[in-house]
Structures are given as structure tokens and as C-alpha cells.
Structure 1
Amino acid sequence: MKKIIFSALALVALSGTYSCTKLEENVLDEASVSGLSDRQLADGNIAPVYALLPNIFLHTNYFAVQEISTDEAILPYRGGTDWGDNGIYLALHQHTHTSTDPNLLNTWNLLAQSLSRSVSAVNTLPNLKDPSAAIYLAEARGMRAYYSMLMLDLFGVVFVKDDPQANSKILRGEAAYNYILSELLAAEPSLSPSVGPGRMSKGAAWGLLARLYLNAAVYRDRYATQFTFQPADMDKVVEYCDKIINSGQYQLSRDYFSIFNSNNHDNKELIFAVDQRAELNGTNRLAYFSISGDQFPLPAYPAANGTDGPAITPDYYRSWTSAYSPKDPSVDPRFYKQNLSIYSNPADSCVAEGDFNINRGILRGQQYGLLRVNGAFLRCPDGKYKVGRLTNVTRNRPTVPVIFTEQVDFTVAGSDYSTGYRVEKYEFSKKSTSGRNLGDADISIVRLADVYLMRAEAKLRKSNDAASALADVNTVRAARTLTTPPPALTTMDLDLLFRERGFELYWEMVRRTDMIRFGKYEGTWTEKTNNNTRKRIFPIPQTAIDGASNLPGYLVQNESY
């Protein structure tokens, strides 16, 4: 009987990492799917291609490896009791991580599983006659290229296979880069321009092509002393950025933080994103990852608090203060958005449930919020919620205020619960059924501001066209007009552009890739002095190496691990 791969019903074979590496999958015979239309079969094959994307972007997976390994984020052993995790976050930040790091393993496995599902879809969709199958096929091929791009960026390897039953071919360096490029180019013509940010669209492919060309020098020669950015690659960056900008389909947001609101799925700045809408059981956990355990953003959920997770490093914070001195960096609307009126009107400490929103952006100093006693929020005589100065009640230290400090490090004092300025970029979901885990804000992968900044960088790298690069950067800055936009810059070079990318794209999981491309990943920052260029990529998880040991030479560990 003819076999049909049907990923919606057949689970990918996940019995071990080796099976993921080989991209094996189970199959069901066609009797198992009898009675389904070609449209239902097409839908059933494309859905699994996207299904694990939210898991990849979980706060302890892709976010951790892309941010905590950089000068933007640091996660100490909080209070000597929280976030210890056998030192994995300390090691990730200090570039002393090993091949047994569980977050690296989780990210590897999720990427491998997503590749497997993509291969299944690419093999099945051509056999279906529904008109949707052709677009779905392009999406599956584009997503396979995207997952391969993440695998190359993180681990320096790409797995290539077309026959689901065959072993994957492993590519590295320029061969891996060329494969991803060819797949994106092949998928792009058949992609839809209007499927929304949660799917692989024509605009998403253009954005990923621009990003791929921009990082081509890194992917071709990972350990180069100095990367060679070829003019032809930079021309391609500009070409694909132009396609996005000139399409008229996307728009820079007047309100910076609306890009990260819980209803952001229709925000026109998003080009490609992880679809986290409530009806899809979104799992965006970035809203609570960084904030205090005594910050409760939703009156309806007295158990939905922060985790006292990562803070920004003093080094990253000082990039803001040095840029705006003697003014406070809050003059830039991307840095901070004040929502609690108690700051400007201390007497206004009773807030209706519908009016309560915690502050957004980079949070410093004394924090204010809902006051919680014995598991319940205090109420004012009129029934509104009492808002006031927060203390470490949940840490059984009710007399110690929640004051976020600039200094944070791995010392006992620097690892306390309130050390480090925190980030509240994504909004807590008011539609969530739990208030904490089911965040429904789409997570940005490519957005229009990044496209302008990529185009600016390509112009600088190709011909030092500072005037055009400056115009692109100032276009992004001038767009944030809901409040007073940041002042226009008057000069532009690569260091200033790197700083600007840090201001615009912080906490968006591009920092590690940026630092490597700009030659700053071997630098020194808070608690990090390691300058080994081999740390530009992560180790292949040891379980994957062990699982492939029956094929000698098949999967070789990256250098220095």
C-alpha cells in the first residue's frame, strides 16, 4: 500500500537526538487518513512545520543563547537560590559553556525536529492537488531554510536531505551558506505576499535573504581575524531591503512599544514573527522573565509575577547614558514608557483594574505596583486596586524595597534579587488564561526597523556611504512620534550603527549574531573576559555526538569543545 507522510497525525520520531539529526519520521499508510480532502491533508502537513517555533523562542532556549551570551543580558544566581541551574547561565555569559548545556540541547533538538517536519511537508505537498499545496510547499521549503539558518548561526552545521528515509548530509561553512541561500531563492517566487507575519511570506523571505547576505562573511569564514564583506553581498542586502521598503506593505510604528503589545499580530512593522495569538495557545514568556517576583502585572491573576531573571549589564546600560549625556536616556522613547501615574502623582495610588499597566522598557530604581498581602491584592475603599512601593514580600523580606540597581554581577551582593536594571519589552497578555505562561504577543523575527538598519549597514560596509546610512537610521528614529522621538543623529559609522541596533533591537535575539559580525563578541564586559574566537559558535550537544557514533566521522564536534 502506498505510504503517505502525514505530520499532523504521525509524530516525528523523537526517540533520540540521533534520530533528530538524521531527520527520520514515522509514516502512516493512506488508510489512516482516508476521507480527508487534499486541503485537509495540505493543512495537516504545513501546521507541524510551524508548530515548534514558539518552543524554539522560549525564554530559556533561543533567547538565552542569543542574549545571555552577550553584553546585553546577564542572569546571576539570584539570592543563592534561584536560577542556579548548575551554573549554565553563568557559563553561557562567560563563554565557558560545554556540550552538555541543557538549553543548547533543547534548542538543537527543537531545530532538528522542525527540520524533520519541514522535510516531511516538502515531500508530501507536491502530491496534493489543492491550490493551497503550492504555497504551502514554498512555505515549508522557506521554513526549512530558516531552521537551517538558525542551525548554521548557532552550531555551524546544516543538515541536508530530501528523502525522508535517507541520512542527512552535513554541510559547514560556505557550502552550508550556499545551500540555505539556494533554498530561500527557490521558495521566494511562490510565497504569498499577504499571509501575515506568522507565516513564511514573500516579505519574510526577503528579510531573511537580506540577513543571510549581511552575515555571509561570517558564515563563509567563521573564525576569520577580520571578516571580508563582499560588495556583491552588500548589494543584495540593499536589493532585498529595498523590496520590503518599496512594497508599501509595512510601516514603522509611531508607538515603539506597540510593536510588542499583546495585540501586535496586526502591527504593520512586523514582517516575520512567531505567531503567539491566544487562539493558538501562545507561549510568549518574555513578559515575566526579567521582572521582579514582586511585580504582578495583572490584577486578575495574583499568582502571575516575575521571575527575577535576566537583567541588562551595566556595560549595555552605559551605552545609553554615554549617547544621551547629560540628559537621561529616557528621552529616547525606546528606552522607557511610563504607565503608572504614581510616579508623577504619588497621591494617585488607587487604580481601576482596566487602567492598570506596568511600565515598559528598561526599568530602574524603586518599583511600584500592586500591593499583595497573603496572596491577595490590597483594595482601596472604592474597590480599586492599591498601588504603592514594592518590597520583597515574596522573598520573605517585606522590609527590603524592590529597587533595581545598575550594578549586577556574579558576586553575592551583585546577585541579589533586585540587582540589575530589568527589561519589560513585551506586554503581559490580558487575554491569557493563566496570566503568566500564555503570552499572546507575537515575537518579532524580522521587522521593518531592522530592515532599514540592515540597509544602512550594507551601505557602510560596501562604500562607506555614511550619508545614506544616516538617513536610514534617522528614518527609524523619527518614526516614533507618539511621544517626542529621539533626536536625529548627525554622523554615522559602523560603531554608531552597532550602538543604534542595540537601542532599537535589544532583547530581540539578534545581539549575539550582531556582536560576531561587528567583531565585538571577543570583547570584555561584566563578568566576561573570554576572548576565544572558537566560541563564536556553540558546541554540538554531546548526546548528538554520542548518538551518531555508529557512523564514524558523521558528526564531528566543533573546535575547542
Structure 2
Amino acid sequence: MTTQHIIKTALVIACSVGFTACSLNEDLGSNLNQQQADSLIKASQLLGSAYDNLQNAYQDFSQTWGMCEISTDEALGPTRGGDWDDNGVWRALHQHQWTPDHSHIQNTFSALLLEQFSATNVLNFRPTPRQEAEARFLRAFSMFAVIDLYGQVPFRSPGENLLEAPKVYKAAEGLDFIISELNAILPNLPDRVTAKDAYVANQDAARFLLMKIYLNKGAFLNRKAPTFDAADMQKVIALADQITASGYSLQPKYFDTFARDNDAKSTENIFTQLNGPGVSNNRNGNNVYCRWMCTLHYSQNPSGWNGFTTLSDFYDSFEATDTRRGGDYPGVTNVSGLKVGFLLGQQYDQNGNKILDRSNRPLIFTREVELRATGTQVEMSGIRVVKYPPDMGSSGSNATNDFVFFRYADAVLMKAEALLRTGNAAAALVIVNDLRLKRGATPFTSLDLTKMLAERGRELYWEGWRRMDLIRFGKYLDAWQLKTASDPKYLLFPIPTSDLAVNKNLVQNPGY
């Protein structure tokens, strides 16, 4: 049996028992004892697997991203004739009508717990202090996502008996554990300069995740009526200043942060996942290329899947001069005619010729979109979104755009929000206007929470943060385009039925 097969076998065994972490041992019926496994399996290999498993959980559009964006006012997955129905899973997400048997809710729960298992398993095989710190960071990251989405998270310490159900942390104790972990490992993580590559867990990534926790803690503990402790807000501000001291700056050209060479161009990226041939195409799940494929039409280049759109109300929140709305991008527009950002109206190729749909009609993306598109709207309805400029030299998961988890603009906006929530609107306004000027938008004369939420939407659209933001600002249950006001139970996703069956310590969330 090869080392890779041993590693994969361990992963399969862990998944088959619902969750979670294990070491290879005789109790699982392995032919290897722990000493033999130690000689064959290295912590570095397992750590690589933990990094790899981020792809399916976060880059694939049908997992965490779909739950955090399609369920908001920023994104829609319309059924187009016979395409994109998928038993109504996308409509259910947008309209807040999901159930515990929703396939994407179940798959995301499994993918995030697999990531936690992969990271925990590193700790069984004598990692170096830095390897241990990176693994514990990845574990904390996945645990944070599970608490965000489901309000509770299963947990095993390294070496626990897999035959017993793992304990489950509720939100409060889970967040306390993550905070203690991040503070404990921070000295053993590389600083951003030493790490060089943003796809390595680093001190600023840990600080950023701590910012997210402190800013959202009151919302995680009371989703119906979030609170914001002044001490927590001060921690957000202090952590943002520490990140700033590492030398980041707002990217002058907005879409460079997401480009095929964003590893070299970006001045913002704090934590990413490396993509490219021989890397992302060997992992499970789609890599970042699915972000443009899920929205582009078949007749465009790249030829897409004609799926997701944004909504006109969200599009209208941008000024015409705001560079985040998009436009031409070198290496893309001159090659295929495709623009980046929001695509509305007639689409053209690189020679200025009108692109046609599959029925030889001019391909004109419309503001109007329905949950169920029919007729000509099957091909053309909805404003399309291209956040990552496509890598025109690669296909499929060979795309080299590194996937962005954490970036500096989000950190400064979190600082501004913390200042605003502690009564320092003047200082928050300076930060937000600095960002708006960088993006070609008109400076605000004043700042309140409504403007703060809207600005986060404009800056961070389709990056997977919108659901969290809407809950924190008390807007997630509101009515918006193609969605009526929703029941408070939808502030949490349900625990999948299959997971309740295998872990007696899980408790179904209220209302499901």
C-alpha cells in the first residue's frame, strides 16, 4: 500500500463514521500499527492534504459559497428551462425554504468536517511546531465556518476513540476554543513576510480570523438580536492595526486581486489557496474556475454553464464610476471580448462582433431575472458576475488564479465597522472614504450602519461573506428581490438528517 493510499484510506474511514479525527491504529482494522504508520506517514504530507481539502469546501460553488451567497440579495441561481433545476436546491437557498435534507447543506457540513479531520490528523504524526500551528489554524478555520452556518460543531481531540460519538461544541464554547487556539499558535506561525506566499497559514491570517470572531461573536450568540461588546470591538481595531503594520495596501486595480497572477500582483491578499496545473486539478471539487463558469453563457469565451446572476437592486447600488462594477481587463477582453465585473446588455467578442445565443439571437443579458426562466430568458436573463478574471491560458481546475479567503480591504472595513459601533463614526468615515476614493466612488459625507453594510457588499460581493454580514446587521430575514421575509429559523442552517443519525450529541436547530 502506498503512502498516498494510506492517507486516503484514513480519510475514507473517518468520513464513513460521520466525523471525524483519527490516527491510524489497530482499532480501525488497519494492517499498520501506530509505529509503522509513523514511519510511513509524515506530518508534511497530511498537512498538504489539509490544505488541499479547502478546495472542495470553499472554492466549489455548490458548498460554502453557495450557502453564503445564493441565500442573499447578491446572488441567484435561476432554473433555466430544464437546466439548473437540481431538484430546486438553488431556489430553496435564495427563498429561504431549505430543509435538513437539502443536498448542498449536507455536502457542505461533510466537507467542512472533513477539513477539520484532515487538520486534526496532522497532530497525530509528530509535526514540527510550525506544522502543528498551521494545522491548528486550518482546524480553527473550518470550525468557525461550521459554527457560522450551523451554530454548533463536532470536535475530537487527536487520538480519541472513533467508536464513540464526538462531543459537540455549542457556539459560545466553540468560539472560546477557537480564540484560545489562535492566540496559542500565533507565535509559531510564520509572519507574512517570512511566509512569502499567501497560501501558507500565517500570523496575519490568524489575526484576520480573530477579527471575524470578535466582530461576529454577538451575532453568533444571539442571531435574532446581535450585540457588540465594546471590548470585542477594540480587539477588532487593534488586530486590524497589527495587520496594517505588515505592509498591506489597498489594491490600485481592483480585479488584480483576483487575477491569474494575483500571487504576484496583489497588495491585499492575506490568505489564499494556491491553484494551477498539477495542484488544484488533483484535488476534490472545482477550483476557482467555477466562479466564472457558473455565470457565463455557453457562447462566450470561456464557454460557461449559463447559470448564476446577481440582482438588479444590488447592481444599482454601485455608482457608474465605481471601478468595482468592472470593465475591460488585459489578457481577457482583448483575447475573448469578455469584460470583468458585472455583465449587462449585448455581449461582444474580441473583434467587436455581437455574440449570439444558441438560437442565433443577439446575446443580451437583461436586468430582469426570474426564479424559473422560460423562453428567451433561459439564455439571457440576469446580470452576470465575473469577479475572477478568467485564466485564458488554462481550462478547468488548471486555472492559476489563487483563491482569496482573506484580504486587506475586508480587514479595514471590519475596523471601520468596529469604530462605528463604538461611537467613532468620524474615524470610520475616513477609512471608508479612503476605500471609496480608491475604487472611483464618491466619498460619503456621513456614515451609518446602512451605508456600512452597503459598502461591504460593494467591496466584497461574491466572496462568500454576504450572509454573515446580513445576519450581523439584522437584515438576513428581510424581503428582497424574489424573496419574501423569512422565518427566524433560517438564521441557522439545519443539521443534516444523516449526521443526526450518527452523532447523538448533535441537536437539530430550532424550527427544523
User: Any stretches of 5+ residues in structure 2 without a counterpart?
Assistant: 26-31, 282-286
Query: Which of 348, 352, 363 matches 1:402?
Result: 363
* SS at 1:495 equivalent: helix
1:468 aligns with 2:427: yes
* SS at 1:334 equivalent: helix
Which amino acid letter does the alignment assign opposite residue 386 of structure 2? E
Deviation string 1:308-358 (CA, Å, 9 cap, x unpaired) is 1111112212322xxx3xxxx2x1111112249xxxxxxxxxx99974452
- Equivalent residues of 2:230, 2:422 under 8 A apart: yes
Which amino acid letter does the alignment assign opposite residue 310 of structure 1? F
* SS at 2:297 equivalent: coil
Equivalent residue, structure 2, for 1:293: 298
Moved over 6 A (4+): 5-8, 351-354
Equivalent residue, structure 1, for 2:411: 451
Give 1:408 deviation, angstroms: 0.8
Shifted more, 209-218 versus 468-477: the winner is: 468-477
- Equivalent residues of 2:343, 2:365 under 8 A apart: yes
Q: Distance in 1 between matches of 2:8 and 2:370?
A: 47
* SS at 1:124 equivalent: coil
Shifted more, 40-49 versus 306-315: the winner is: 40-49
Q: Distance in 2 between matches of 1:215 and 1:177?
A: 10
Give 1:430 deviation, angstroms: 3.1
Question: 1:260-275 to 2 correspondence within 5 Å?
Answer: 260-266=258-264, 267-275=266-274
Equivalent residue, structure 2, for 1:523: 478
* SS at 1:183 equivalent: helix
Question: 1:219-230 to 2 correspondence within 5 Å?
Answer: 219-222=220-223, 224=224, 226-230=225-229
So what's the TM-score if we normalise by structure 2?
A: 0.90
Equivalent residue, structure 2, for 1:510: 465
Equivalent residue, structure 1, for 2:382: 420
Q: Distance in 1 between matches of 2:9 and 2:159?
A: 14
CA RMSD across the alignment: 2.4
Which amino acid letter does the alignment assign opposite residue 43 of structure 2? A
Kindly tell me: are residues 7 and 120 of structure 1, through their superposed partners in 2, closer, same or farther at Cα, counting changes over 3 Å? farther
- Equivalent residues of 1:459, 1:469 under 8 A apart: yes
Q: Distance in 2 between matches of 1:455 and 1:353?
A: 35
Query: Which of 347, 360, 376 matches 1:367?
Result: 347
Give 1:212 deviation, angstroms: 0.7
Kindly tell me: are residues 44 and 500 of structure 1, through their superposed partners in 2, closer, same or farther at Cα, counting changes over 3 Å? same
Equivalent residue, structure 1, for 2:510: 559
Give 1:437 deviation, angstroms: 3.7
Give 1:411 deviation, angstroms: 4.4
Kindly tell me: are residues 6 and 17 of structure 1, through their superposed partners in 2, closer, same or farther at Cα, counting changes over 3 Å? closer
Q: Distance in 1 between matches of 2:333 and 2:383?
A: 26
- Equivalent residues of 1:241, 1:451 under 8 A apart: yes
Kindly tell me: are residues 454 and 353 of structure 1, through their superposed partners in 2, closer, same or farther at Cα, counting changes over 3 Å? closer
Q: Distance in 1 between matches of 2:275 and 2:4?
A: 24
Give 1:33 deviation, angstroms: 6.0
Equivalent residue, structure 2, for 1:67: 69
Equivalent residue, structure 1, for 2:87: 86
Q: How many residues align?
A: 488
So what's the TM-score if we normalise by structure 1?
A: 0.82
Q: Distance in 1 between matches of 2:171 and 2:349?
A: 50
Q: Distance in 2 between matches of 1:122 and 1:233?
A: 30
User: Any stretches of 5+ residues in structure 1 without a counterpart?
Assistant: 127-132, 298-304, 341-350, 371-385
Q: Distance in 2 between matches of 1:112 and 1:471?
A: 40
Q: Distance in 2 between matches of 1:338 and 1:179?
A: 46
Greater Rg, structure 1 or structure 2? 1
Query: Which of 129, 135, 138 matches 2:133?
Result: 138
Equivalent residue, structure 1, for 2:353: 388
Q: Distance in 1 between matches of 2:412 and 2:219?
A: 21
Equivalent residue, structure 2, for 1:300: none
Which amino acid letter does the alignment assign opposite residue 292 of structure 1? H
Q: Distance in 1 between matches of 2:206 and 2:433?
A: 25
* SS at 1:388 equivalent: coil
Kindly tell me: are residues 163 and 411 of structure 1, through their superposed partners in 2, closer, same or farther at Cα, counting changes over 3 Å? closer
Q: Percent sequence identity over matched residues?
A: 32
Q: Distance in 1 between matches of 2:457 and 2:85?
A: 27
* SS at 1:272 equivalent: strand
Q: Distance in 2 between matches of 1:339 and 1:256?
A: 11
Equivalent residue, structure 2, for 1:477: 436
Q: Distance in 1 between matches of 2:334 and 2:469?
A: 39
Q: Distance in 2 between matches of 1:469 and 1:556?
A: 40
Question: 1:131-530 to 2 correspondence within 5 Å?
Answer: 133-166=128-161, 167-193=165-191, 194-195=194-195, 196-222=197-223, 224=224, 226-248=225-247, 250-266=248-264, 267-281=266-280, 283-284=287-288, 285-297=290-302, 305-320=303-318, 324=319, 329=320, 331-339=321-329, 355-356=335-336, 358-369=338-349, 387-393=352-358, 397-398=359-360, 400-413=361-374, 416-432=378-394, 435-463=395-423, 465-480=424-439, 485-530=440-485
Q: Distance in 2 between matches of 1:419 and 1:61?
A: 24
Give 1:16 deviation, angstroms: 7.7
- Equivalent residues of 1:7, 1:45 under 8 A apart: no
Equivalent residue, structure 2, for 1:14: 12
Kindly tell me: are residues 354 and 265 of structure 1, through their superposed partners in 2, closer, same or farther at Cα, counting changes over 3 Å? same
* SS at 2:125 equivalent: helix
Which amino acid letter does the alignment assign opposite residue 103 of structure 1? H
* SS at 2:405 equivalent: strand
- Equivalent residues of 2:329, 2:389 under 8 A apart: no
Deviation string 1:378-402 (CA, Å, 9 cap, x unpaired) is xxxxxxxx55111112xxx11x221
Higher helix share: 2
Which amino acid letter does the alignment assign opposite residue 137 of structure 2? G
Equivalent residue, structure 1, for 2:28: none
